[in-house]
Structure 1
Amino acid sequence: MVQAQEVSNVIQMRRSPASTDEIAQLNFQLPNPEDEKLPEIEFQNQVEQAWLVCDRVNLQTDIWRGRILRAVRDREKWYGDGRGTGFLNWLKDREISKSQAYSLIELANSADTLLEGGYLEPEDVNQFSKRAFVETAKSDPEVQQLVSDAARKGDRITRREVRQLSDEWTAMTTDLLPVAIKEKAADHTIPTRYLVPLVKEMKKLPEVHQNPIREAIAESPNVDTLKQATAEARYLAKYLEAAGNVQALDNPSLNLELALEEALRIGCLSSTADLVNQAAQLEQTAVKLYLTWKRINALSDRLYVDSGASTPHLRTLLSCLETLTSEVIETPLTGGGDRTIRLQVLSDLDDQKIEA
């Protein structure tokens, strides 16, 4: 069983890092995983308590490690050789990678930002996971205040909670949603989890496409409308992004906006967006295929020149690859039985293009 006094000792840690005595007290009597008489819920509770205590000690320790590393790095900046050699050697002596060091420094910077800004008291640090600390420091001041309020109440703060609070703040303060929806979210008639994905998708759209969606949810402010609007905004964004990347659609006779309006009118926006997206992927794949084919041919030619009668196995390898290096590329269709894909590369003077 996790000792109550051990938990209390760690929770009461303040500005100083965990002392040797405090760390030594982390001698848990963990539950026996083979004890069939121990209820599962009790087993999970005991393990979770032990884990949280370790998290708190690790967070405090890593914050101070980050401060130490920052001091060593800054000292090197002022009095080193200008290349950071002393700092790197210091890390090497302690078997710390550069990425680990800067991750700890970032954690220390995050802690100092939140503490010096008055958002947190030193004891509130114990409520955070390490990644939550960094995420909170990067958030808007309003979000930092919301997170710190939750920490003061004793809530366990992970990166998921920080992101959730940040998303909810964005949803409630954005101009993309009508007042009617915000009011329903404020009185909990509509959960904010339905607003966040809609706002994220609407941000990707130009204003001309945002307005109809905003009007639709203002006219019928309910969960079903929000779900439908989110799906429509997602497909709109998908269509608009993909259409700009498809060279085949660069045609003066095509009006992409009118095509979009027609797709909306007959209720096939999803299929249209998927079609355009797949077309963009196909063009990109064709270009990649051509460049890869050219590279294989160049490598095959070089190997053919470098090899000869003394390398019969290399010559056999080149012979086997002729189905991929010739102007007709052949390869079996995976999972297609005896079916074979054939792609022909046609030459037109100095230009070449792929045709299937």
Structure 2
Amino acid sequence: MVQTPSDTELVAVLQEQPQLDFELPDPEDEAISEHEFQQRLDNAWLVCDRFDLQTEIWRGRILRAIRDREKKGGDGRGTGFLNWLKQREITKSQAYSLIQLANSADTLIEEGHLQPEAVRNFSKRAFLETAKSAPEVQQLVTEAAQKGDRITCREVRQLADEWTAMSSDLLPDEVKQKAAAGTMPPRYLAPLVKELGKLPDSHITAIQEEVAENPDVDTVKQATTDARYLAKYLDAAIQVQALNQSDINLEKALEEALRLGCLSTASEVVKQAAQLEQAMVKLYNTWKRLSNVADRLYVDTGASTPHLRSLLSCLENLTNDVIEVPMDEMGDRTVRLQILSDTEA
């Protein structure tokens, strides 16, 4: 019968283990080629990355055990858990980040997607990226890890793009076939799917037809750009009160912008209009609050507070109906805005 070593025995073993000690190449040694220099540093970094990931997973499990124990027998406020963190100089956010990492690792292992020994094939960031991915992507990534492949964020993104390209209903069959044949890089298709998902069906169809007619990289990239600006146009136009209170046909204006190839400019126009309206509302509310507070301070002061009165006098350019603000330190240019509320207009 195999006996499990006690915690004391494990600590003793760890204390006897040598510390990480790399023989890093000398940056000034010209005899080492650039390729060898980069390779040796990459190998050292890989060891640190894997060591760091497994260490933090176990730290997360430890913290989870302490937290759960506190929930069961603590004071109900988590005081014991917080004190434990304080003694080890760990913030609450760091602790829960480690617990989340441990939960992700245990979920992947318990569901059979990942063997414990395959964790060492991940970089820390890649593992976190995998944990946040769709279940189908997780399966693709973990299968690659269990084959012994080194998994970095690049591999995770690549597999995620491939899955997106082959599974999305937003892409025409023509580009899916090219992606499956390896003639259309999936990294160009994933952004298109993302942008198309922001659009109403009526606008998706037109872009899909264009891509299906010319299923090449340039068309996909242009379609992605058009979809991005189109989404910005539609989103900003809804927020602009000046447009909502008029009879303008936004769809016709959009069609004209598409026909002239100036969709990005039209999108920027409505975006800036929305920001200006929001800034005006914020300006009015701030001006109103400043005026009210200044009036209250004026009532509370008198001849015995000449400096406070002087302060209020200096602020009159901001509390009057006409606001004056210099545009530079020299005061050569001044912007003046007259505020008229609905009751005063």
TM bucket, shorter chain: 0.7 to 0.9
Deviation, 1:337, is 8.0
Which aligned pairs between 1:297-336 and structure 2 lie closer than 5 A? Answer: 297-309=291-303, 311-334=305-328
Match of 1:231 among 225, 228, 232: 225
Which residue does 1:193 correspond to in 2? 187
Deviation, 1:164, is 3.6
Is 1:284 the counterpart of 2:281? The answer is: no
Is 1:145 the counterpart of 2:139? The answer is: yes
Deviation, 1:279, is 0.9
TM-score by length of 2: 0.88
Which residue does 2:267 correspond to in 1? 273
RMSD of the alignment, in Å?
A: 2.6
Match of 2:151 among 157, 161, 172: 157
Secondary structure of residue in 1 paired with 2:340:
strand
- Return closer, same or farther for 1:268/1:29 CA change in 2, 3 Å cut-off: closer
Which residue does 2:61 correspond to in 1? 67
Which residue does 2:257 correspond to in 1? 263
Unpaired runs of 5+ residues, structure 2, are 1-9
Match of 2:214 among 213, 217, 220: 220
Secondary structure of residue in 2 paired with 1:284:
helix
Report the Cα distance in structure 1 between the residues aligned to 2:11 and 2:337, rounded to whole angstroms.
66
Cα shift readout 1:8-62 (whole Å, capped 9, x = no counterpart): xxxxxxxx99962586341223333444544444333333222221222221111
Report the Cα distance in structure 1 between the residues aligned to 2:114 and 2:212, rounded to whole angstroms.
38
Cα shift readout 1:139-197 (whole Å, capped 9, x = no counterpart): 22210111112323443323443234223311221011111101111112121121111
Report the Cα distance in structure 2 between the residues aligned to 1:161 and 1:307, rounded to whole angstroms.
68
Partner AA of 1:123 in structure 2: E
The farther-off stretch of 181-190 and 42-51 is 42-51
Query: Residue 107 of structure 1 contacts residue 130 of structure 1 at CA under 8 Å; is this kept in 2?
Result: no
Match of 1:126 among 109, 116, 120: 120
Which residue does 1:98 correspond to in 2? 92
Report the Cα distance in structure 2 between the residues aligned to 1:344 and 1:79, rounded to whole angstroms.
64
- In the alignment of these two chains, the number of paired residues is 336
- Return closer, same or farther for 1:142/1:166 CA change in 2, 3 Å cut-off: same
Which residue does 1:83 correspond to in 2? 77
Secondary structure of residue in 2 paired with 1:195:
helix
Report the Cα distance in structure 2 between the residues aligned to 1:87 and 1:283, rounded to whole angstroms.
48
Deviation, 1:311, is 4.8
The farther-off stretch of 24-33 and 182-191 is 24-33
Report the Cα distance in structure 2 between the residues aligned to 1:348 and 1:46, rounded to whole angstroms.
71
Partner AA of 1:328 in structure 2: V
TM-score by length of 1: 0.85
Which aligned pairs between 1:202-213 and structure 2 lie closer than 5 A? Answer: 202-213=196-207
Which residue does 1:56 correspond to in 2? 50
Report the Cα distance in structure 2 between the residues aligned to 1:18 and 1:121, rounded to whole angstroms.
27
Identity %: 68
Deviation, 1:79, is 2.0
Unpaired runs of 5+ residues, structure 1, are 1-15
- Return closer, same or farther for 1:129/1:299 CA change in 2, 3 Å cut-off: farther
Deviation, 1:252, is 5.3
Query: Residue 328 of structure 1 contacts residue 344 of structure 1 at CA under 8 Å; is this kept in 2?
Result: yes
